[in-house]
Structure 1
Amino acid sequence: MGGAVRSVLWWITSVMGDHDYARYVEYLRTHDPDADVPTERAFWRARYRQQDTNPGARCC
């Protein structure tokens, strides 16, 4: 039962975007190792700012 609960929690957090920063950092380190990695706070600010300038990018 624990595995099923973990799977459901992982899915929910994935849908909510909780893993997006970690994936972005991994992408930057793979594709541009010399790039400055933004803080998690800066990442989310930029992401929300982008959604405000392009409301069609949001799902809801």
Structure 2
Amino acid sequence: MNTVVKGLRGFATYMGSLMGADAYRKYLEHFEASGHSGPAMTEREFWRDRMDRQDSNPQGRCC
């Protein structure tokens, strides 16, 4: 049973990464690694900026 639960969690993590659920975490990692000065965007600001950029520059989205 434990193996099944681990498999399902792994699958959920994989699907979340495909859908972009981990995008903010990746943004923060990149922000810190790049040595930017100043504060990073909040999660709300990040998602708003991401949606605005996708709306003004659509690229291969299904919807």
- Fold shared, TM-score > 0.5 on shorter chain: yes
For 1:1-60, list aligned pairs within 5 A. 1-55=4-58, 57-60=59-62
Normalising by the residue count of structure 1, what TM-score does the alignment of the two structures yield?
A: 0.87
Deviates more, 1:33-42 or 1:13-22: 33-42
Q: Which has the larger radius of gyration?
A: 2
Compute the RMSD of aligned alpha carbons.
1.2
Paired residues, number: 59
Higher normalized contact order (CA 8 Å, seq sep 6+, divided by chain length) = 2
Return 5+ residue gaps in structure 2 as ranges.
none
Taking structure 2 as the reference length, the TM-score comes to: 0.83
Identity over the aligned pairs, expressed in percent? 32
1:4 counterpart letter in structure 2: G
| Residues 58 and 46 of structure 1: CA distance in aligned 2, closer, same or farther (over 3 Å) | farther
Runs of 4 or more off by more than 3 Å in structure 1? none
Gaps of 5+ in 1: none
TM-fit CA distance, 1:49: 0.4
